[in-house]
Structure 1
Amino acid sequence: MKRRTLLSAAAASATAAGLAACGSGTPGQQAEDPAAKGRTQVEFWGNVFTTPENAWYEKIVKDFNAAQEDVYINYQVVPGDAWDQKLKAAQAAGTAPDLYIQAGRLDTAARTGLLMPLDDLFEPDVLAGVTDAAKEVSQYQGQFYAFPLLVEPQMTLYWNKDLFEQAGLDPETPPTSWDEMYDACEALAPVMDNGEFPLNTAVDSGTFGWTTVAAQLHVAGHLPISEDWSTADAEDAKYEELIGFYKTLQGEGWIPRQPLGEGNSAQAFGEKKVAMQSQGSWAMSELAADYPDVVPATGVAPWVQSDGDLTHSISTIGNMKWVVDAKAREPEATATFIEWALGGDPEVLKPFFVDTQFTKAPARDEVTEVVNSDPAAEDAPWSDVVFKDIVPQCIPEAQYPWDINLAMGDALQAGMLGKASPAEALGTAQKEIQKVIDREGLAEIRAEMDA
């Protein structure tokens, strides 16, 4: 899970303890709950998300298990830092969960036969209600390989209005361009104490790999691979400018050199260690749940762009969806649970979107209508910014392999930290991307996808 491999092993253990009534404590074991006896058991793996998301998963599993007597969901929380290893090991051993939560693109997993196609598991009307944006991340070659829960922008700008006012900045006017960001950071620096910074962004190559995809497209007009996936295209001088933006922020001391906590967390902003932060829209739900005192002073806007043009390619659209393993032992029972939780009564999903503070877009229009009708929506003014100013200007996540994102992330980090010149860093990325193209036969895969 590349976008939100989410908190620590300790946090996962705590959440797992809270879910003990939902199943066994060890992935791969059958549930010990007496209520599971005589039922078809479905193994469901998840991760550690934000506080309201964790609560929703716990509730729907318990509610489903209590609502009928045929299927029992055995929900397990797998720590984010162990996810890839545990899932791959389970798949190799034939003990993979029937159902698990996945972020990011599914094209590679679908193409290589790791996922089960879903169209035959549901009546057509169940999948017909999925929005076009959610279909984009849930289908491969026109067939569903996932049931989407949500889509959400991966890059938004958060700013502390109180600190802006202290710095002599207009608290209602965030920066929109790189130059305006430099000016804001320069003004904010004097009001920040030691160990505090005007801005918090990615500083590690992995996070850079997924957070800057839209910026790469925005600044250069293309991604670092040709449209037919036959050749690398990472040495554009415009990418040097993107590296230069982060290098300037780093060189001036306006962003930390080391991460201030989890890469996908708003902790540093919530603790007022930074005045601004680049983060996904999910950060607002984390702030509301864990740092409510900061919410009244928090502004939300599109992330800054090189030229200040906020009308295109301002963020990628992330997502969360449920996928069924290709070797699932109980696919029909699994589909029953999916339909109940994600494809049925919108009231089941409503608490998820309300409690996460209206920061995520439902994958079904029917759910959107129910969520927007909630009275609390009027108290979440940022939701209009997220869904009117940001979501329509987003792009889908890249379909090519993650290693290409990582090569660009490595280049950004190396150039930012001065380990290589921007041109040298991009030259290395060019070679690494071409290796991936040749190793994976990406030109053939692209031709197959376009056929």
Structure 2
Amino acid sequence: MKSKTTRMRKASAFAASVVGMSMVLAACGSSTPGESAKTDGGDGSATTIEFWHRTFTPVENEWYAQVVKDFNASQSAIKVVDTEVPADTWDQKMKAAQAAGKAPDVYTYSGALVEQVDAGQFHALEGIVPQDKLDEILPSAQSISQVDGSYYAYPLLLEPQAVLFWNKDMLDAAGVDSTKAPATWDDLYAACAKIVPTLSEGQYCISPAADAVTLAWASAGQQYNAAGHLALTQDWTAPDIDNQGYRDIMGFYKELYDQGYMPKQPLGSYLEAKDYGEKKVAFKVSGSWMMSEVGSDYSDLLDVTGLGPVPTSPNGDGRTTTTAGNFMWVVDAKSDNPDAAGEFLSWVLAGDPEVLVPFFVDTQFTKSPVRQSVQDAVAKTEAAAAAPWSSVIVNDIAPDAHPGATYPWDISLAVGTAIESAMKSAQSIDDAIGTASGSIDTIIQRESLPEKAPKP
């Protein structure tokens, strides 16, 4: 298997327009998170703020470094010091910096905001980001960036966490329509019934999420689709999984498993394209980011890969089947210079769309912009014409993606464990629901969740 670094570096070559400048990030300022950066060496009048971001793919890292350089060159009142923090040390370094009162002024963040806002970690953006800039955030991204009607983050992107990919050649060989995704679970079962007889040993119809941890986050949109809600009552006083919707989704995974439509042991990570790229599966469920790997590592499949929404429950009532992955920028509540931090954030994320276009082009149109003006600018690029999947992600999947759970992770994990247990017949569906409900009750009491429930 190719290394992750090799895959991602290939991805940069595949993109139609690559940010060409390689930069040494440490040259921008302090290389040690939490340490104060030096002044700009001038008359001392510039306000210096720190910006941290995780290590992403090479093209993303280059974009982050470039926008900091461009912002600093665009004016002389504010100097941004850029620090790239390895993803595997991010949590440790951020917690240490916060505990020492040395958190950066601006930093990247993903996930729900409620707990951090309740803990007073983030600065509200109203007052430091112009209201007309906040108003540009599309409705699909507002729910992930607001708490009780106030903005505490400005999103960079939306990234559907559950997308169905398929090999058109394998579907055509089985007489299955390869021009569109199966609409419902029943359609998927019917497709698999036709595909399985055409497969060789070691090949399967579909590779979905298959372990408790992945199911815990990747299936949130499917849970919402099947049940119309997630795992807690609206007031967070009780679990809400002892119902037909949750029985249905457990039954869906169990059917795929029992019929042999999916492998008994995963052939590759949900996050990666390996099993799909090696043609071991006709269908693959992964995040929209997988298309980047298809283009870089399995380019022979690029023209025969279809993608669309994950099939819906027969009772889905038009609800989405995916969750909105995201990366946002936040301003630390204890920043000494929140106005300067807001100006930097506004310039990059809420200003000229052309600042953001390279990001979406060079990540190969696998992420959705959160402003219409940026979507329009990206769509007009020459490279977009060679990426037909872009419009599917941006127009068909991302707009109604569910924002995901805002309750503690342990609750999501209890649900993921129940789905895996029922899928593999380690427990009956009723017993799996009972076990998960008991675990969730314990978490509700332990965390005093009714006191933390979001306002309706």
The two structures have a TM-score, normalised by structure 2, of: 0.85
The yes-or-no answer on 1:88 pairing with 2:80 is: no
Q: 2:53 aligns with which of 41, 46, 51?
A: 46
Displacement, 1:30?
Answer: 4.7
Displacement, 1:122?
Answer: 2.2
Spell out the pairing of 1:60-75 with structure 2 (5 A cutoff): 60-69=67-76, 70-75=78-83
Q: 2:136 aligns with which of 129, 133, 138?
A: 129
Displacement, 1:258?
Answer: 4.6
Spell out the pairing of 1:426-441 with structure 2 (5 A cutoff): 426-441=433-448
Contact 2:140 2:399 survives alignment (8 Å):
no
Distance 2:315 2:162 in 1: 15
Aligned position for 1:3: none
Distance 1:258 1:61 in 2: 44
- 1:408 partner letter: V
- 1:57 partner letter: Y
Secondary structure of the structure 2 residue equivalent to 1:394:
coil
Displacement, 1:110?
Answer: 0.8
* Percent identity of equivalent pairs: 43
Distance 1:22 1:192 in 2: 54
Q: 2:176 aligns with which of 169, 175, 194?
A: 169
Spell out the pairing of 1:2-401 with structure 2 (5 A cutoff): 19-30=25-36, 40-69=47-76, 70-79=78-87, 81-189=88-196, 192=199, 195-307=202-314, 311-401=318-408
The number of equivalent residue pairs is 439
Displacement, 1:145?
Answer: 0.6
Displacement, 1:121?
Answer: 1.5
Displacement, 1:310?
Answer: 7.6
Secondary structure of the structure 2 residue equivalent to 1:323:
strand
Going from structure 1 to structure 2, the CA distance change for 1:246 and 1:373 (only over 3 Å counts) comes to same
Distance 1:263 1:328 in 2: 38
Secondary structure of the structure 2 residue equivalent to 1:149:
strand
Going from structure 1 to structure 2, the CA distance change for 1:270 and 1:140 (only over 3 Å counts) comes to same
Secondary structure of the structure 1 residue equivalent to 2:433:
helix
Displacement, 1:346?
Answer: 0.8
Displacement, 1:259?
Answer: 4.5
- 1:27 partner letter: P
Distance 2:310 2:42 in 1: 47
Distance 2:40 2:169 in 1: 54
Structure 2: state its 5+ residue gaps.
Answer: 13-21
Contact 2:180 2:306 survives alignment (8 Å):
no
Displacement, 1:267?
Answer: 3.8
Distance 2:127 2:443 in 1: 34
Distance 2:366 2:268 in 1: 22
Distance 1:83 1:263 in 2: 22
Structure 1: state its 5+ residue gaps.
Answer: 1-6
- 2:101 partner letter: G
Going from structure 1 to structure 2, the CA distance change for 1:35 and 1:409 (only over 3 Å counts) comes to farther
Aligned position for 1:4: none
Contact 1:261 1:268 survives alignment (8 Å):
yes
Distance 1:104 1:45 in 2: 17
- 2:437 partner letter: Q
TM-superposition CA deviations, 1:281-320 (whole Å, max 9, x none): 2322343344433221110111012228683232222322
Q: Which moved more, 1:376-385 or 1:362-371?
A: 376-385
Contact 2:226 2:315 survives alignment (8 Å):
no
Displacement, 1:190?
Answer: 5.1
Going from structure 1 to structure 2, the CA distance change for 1:194 and 1:87 (only over 3 Å counts) comes to farther
Going from structure 1 to structure 2, the CA distance change for 1:406 and 1:204 (only over 3 Å counts) comes to same
Displacement, 1:25?
Answer: 4.4
Q: What's the RMSD between the two structures over aligned residues? A: 3.2
The yes-or-no answer on 1:449 pairing with 2:455 is: yes
Going from structure 1 to structure 2, the CA distance change for 1:409 and 1:199 (only over 3 Å counts) comes to same
Going from structure 1 to structure 2, the CA distance change for 1:326 and 1:250 (only over 3 Å counts) comes to same
TM-superposition CA deviations, 1:192-228 (whole Å, max 9, x none): 5555433221122222112222222222233222122
Distance 1:295 1:159 in 2: 11
The two structures have a TM-score, normalised by structure 1, of: 0.86
- 1:164 partner letter: L
Displacement, 1:239?
Answer: 1.6
Displacement, 1:261?
Answer: 4.5
TM-superposition CA deviations, 1:360-400 (whole Å, max 9, x none): 33222222222222233333322332333323443332333
TM-superposition CA deviations, 1:320-376 (whole Å, max 9, x none): 211122223443332232122111111001112223333333222222222222233
Distance 1:325 1:280 in 2: 29
Contact 1:311 1:393 survives alignment (8 Å):
no
The yes-or-no answer on 1:415 pairing with 2:422 is: yes
Displacement, 1:59?
Answer: 2.5
Displacement, 1:11?
Answer: 8.7
Distance 2:117 2:313 in 1: 35
Distance 1:328 1:189 in 2: 58
